[in-house]
Each structure stands twice: as structure tokens, then as C-alpha cells.
Amino acid sequence: NHAAVAVTQGITNILSQDELRGVLAHELSHVKNNDILIGSVAAAVAMGITFLARMLMWGAMFGGGRDNEGGNPLGLLAMAAGLLQMALSRSREFEADQSGADIMGNGESLARALEKLELSAKRVPMNVNPAQATMYIVNPLSGRPVNFARLFSTHPSTQERIERLRAWRP
């Protein structure tokens, strides 16, 4: 089993070597904690529920189902599954921060890196497909004029992450 973590030229221009080590420790923690597997399973479950909800909706439309009597309970379940998937993603970010701080022996390296990356994302927003935002250490969409509610975010707030990292103790 091999894992790869890529860094952009931009991040190497922004961060010191110590800060970059903190980011890499965070990213390698995602690998160590099986976050890709956990996220994939959560996405598959949410997609399955959404598929069932759509099938029921189309079945009701073309199969002579009831006329708006109570709606589609699976539709509500599909929405809940999506929200839970996003909440899981946020909790995995906190866990990777903690594990990264454990690897580094401090939370300050990653905290400083997050501050710099958040400022950079706000100044120069990246042209990123929202579906790929989870692939970045900070939300690359944070600099866009319209931000969605925290409930729909795949990343916890950078400020909360920084506060937790600065409170880190071995």
C-alpha cells in the first residue's frame, strides 16, 4: 500500500518548511486514519439512499402513486445522509489536525500554515469545482463572494481548527 500527497508550487511559496511539514503531517494523517475509505463508504451510502429516493419519486409520478400525501420520506433521509456525510468530513479534518500535531510534536506549525493558507484563499480564490473542495487543507472556496452555511461545508472553520491546534497538548 502506497500513499501519495501532492503539494502545489503555490503552497511551497507561501509556507515555511516547518509549516509545510505540519500540512504534510495532517495529510498523511488522513491516510493513517483511513479517511478516504471512511469518506467513500459514507458517500456510497448517501448515494444509495438518494438513488432509492429518486426511484420512489419517479415510481410515484409514473406509477400512479399517491398525490402529495406525505411526500417522500426517503427524500428527507437522503438529505439527512448528505448532511451527515459533510459533518463526518468536518470531524475527520479535526482528527487529521490532531494526528498531524501528534506527529509534529506541536500544533503551532499547522496552525500557522492554516492562517497563511486561509488568508491566501481569501485574497486569491482558486478556480476549484466545489465537489473537489475536500481535497484541499483549507476550503479553497472561502474567498468566493457567496459562502454556504456552515452546515453544508465539508471543512470546519479554519479559526476553530487553529484554536484547537494551539490548545494541543501531547
Catalytic residues: 27
Residues in CB range of 155: below 8 A, 6 or more apart? 89, 90, 93, 133, 134, 138, 139
Rounded to the nearest 10 degrees, the angle between the axes of helix 108-123 and helix 17-32 is 100
The answer to whether the beta carbons of residues 56 and 147 sit under 8 Å apart is no
For residues 113 and 91, what is the distance between their CA atoms, to the nearest angstrom?
19
Q: How many residues does the chain have?
A: 170
